[in-house]
Amino acid sequence: MNAPIIDPLQGDFPEVIEEYLEHGVMKCISFNRRGTLLAAGCSDGNCVIWDFETRGIAKELRDKDCIAAITSVSWSKYGHRILVSSADKSLTLWDVVSGERISRTTLQQTPLQARLHPGSSTPSLCLACPLSSAPMIVDLNTGSTTVLPVSIPDTSNGIVSQSRNKFSDGAPPYTPTAACFNKYGDLVYVGNSKGEILIIDYGTIRVRAMVPVTGGAVVKNIVFSRSGVYLLTNSNDRTIRIYENLLPLKDGLIALDDLEKTANELDGVEKLKAIGSKCLTLFREFQDSITKMHWKAPCFSGDGEWVIGGSASKGEHKIYIWDRAGHLVKILEGPKEALIDLAWHPVHPVVVSVSLTGLIYIWAKDYTENWSAFAPDFKELEENEEYVEREDEFDLVPETEKVKESDVNEDDEVDIVTVEKNSDFSDSDMSQEELCFLPAIPSPDVPEQQDKYIESSSKLVDSNHSGSPLSDDAGPNERTTNHASSPLEDNSAAEDAVARLKRKRKPSEKGLELQAEKETLKDDTFI
């Protein structure tokens, strides 16, 4: 679509279902960094990679050791690896190009979500959020795990509060805890069951800061925008909150060290809160004040200007879109199927949602062409009108026509090798080759299938017509049928196929002449 002819007042958010993808029962989705490939985890343990430009399957990762449903998929930064978590408590790392399994790790609990370390091109560390234990850092090469803290012991008056520390050991009853890396992966942000956001240095397994969430409700989801400037949380109080990240995108640990020095006069929880107030600040809150619904899989748009959340109500497929200022701008209503996962395309105004039935719906913008913006003298007509041309409209007047000379120097060499850097991916390492597309392997038609069809058709006609429906000596117009056994119309396609095989070619005029000459020679010889 040409950008100048698009009405700029339409807004950069999707409006209608453009297409849907179908392959088994898909459960979760994830775009690669450029949005050219879409990975989907299925209920049978397979991971399907769709080419999002052609809407075709580019690769299917099959693990013979895994037949349980996939719970999450995660791309590496440059798209060469995919991490798949499954309901059989396994984490599997795949090489995307070769389709080979790099490693497989089995945890003690089912991982609801797993994310690869975002700061490495070939990561071996991941952050896993199990169903009934604390989040952990997993080394995919060795299988070793490091459990992260999910609460802060309250040591006021020298007594450890049992109410604050009751979930710290991960013992049941336990609420699943949400966690995510920051942009470059040097810190982990954990949203716990007491309505707190903990900033953790996973290298030393230490809580460096704490930010209390308004209302103290359980944090169900926590995710950063792609730029790393904003943090989103989804809580049990049916509210989506946006926090602005005050720490530098790089060297966040160094900034935390400086903040600790300024808060030396405080101690314990108060010190962590003081540091946390300088790390995150509440920016916006989103909720449906009428229906008070719970939200499913909220996330940012690629540029961070929009926030979306799916309705968690059963039997409805609704997606709410807000701008970052907090205004509800669109409600997308899909089929009567529950929504289970959601993702916004990294570059384009496209949203992809997964329904409970396993279909992937692609929501895109309904573009309206504004040709008057492209050509100011263009006039749009409501209906057809008869055009009356002027008498001299098509007369050539060479002396009045002037051809504008081109300013382009035709002798200059055209650079077709250098790739301009995309401002949307300013953190790209140009020395690292990024995987954007997978080679397509065409599957040719198998000729044996056609032979089997003709053979089966021949058997079908012979069985339906007791006797020979077509005589081998019959001409092209001498077809004999048996209407008593089966109507000819029921097997017209099959009978026509067999008839074409059994017909004899009609002799040409030259052939008839030669045949007549042979008969004459036979008669002369006999006489």
- Domains, the chain, ranges and CATH? 10-155+166-364 (2.130.10.10), 444-471+485-527 (no CATH)
C-alpha distances out from residue 460 to 312, 480, 486, 499, Å: 53, 16, 11, 13
At residue 369, the pLDDT reads 72
CB neighbours (10 Å) of residue 200? 22
Q: What is the residue type of 267?
A: D
Q: What is the pLDDT of residues 435-466, one digit of tens each?
A: 888 986 666 665 655 555 455 555 444 544 44
Measured distance CA(52)–CA(33) in Å, rounded = 12
Measured distance CA(300)–CA(290) in Å, rounded = 23
**Assigned token pair, 168:** 């710290």
Give the chain's length: 527
Q: List strands edge to edge, sheet with 328-333.
A: 295-300, 306-311, 318-323, 328-333
At residue 372, the pLDDT reads 72
At residue 203, the pLDDT reads 92
Residues 300-305: what's their mean pLDDT? 92
**Assigned token pair, 138:** 């997993």
> Buried b / exposed e across 284-306, counting CB within 10 Å, b at 16+?
bebbbeeeebbbbbbbbbbbbeb
Q: What is the residue type of 12?
A: D
At residue 278, the pLDDT reads 95
> Buried b / exposed e across 346-375, counting CB within 10 Å, b at 16+?
bbebbbbbbbeebbbbbbbbeeeebeeeee
Which has the higher per-residue pLDDT, 479 or 313? Answer: 313
Most confident of the following: 416-425, 444-453, 495-504:
416-425
What is the separation of C-alpha 258 from the centre of its chain, rounded to a whole number of angstroms? 40
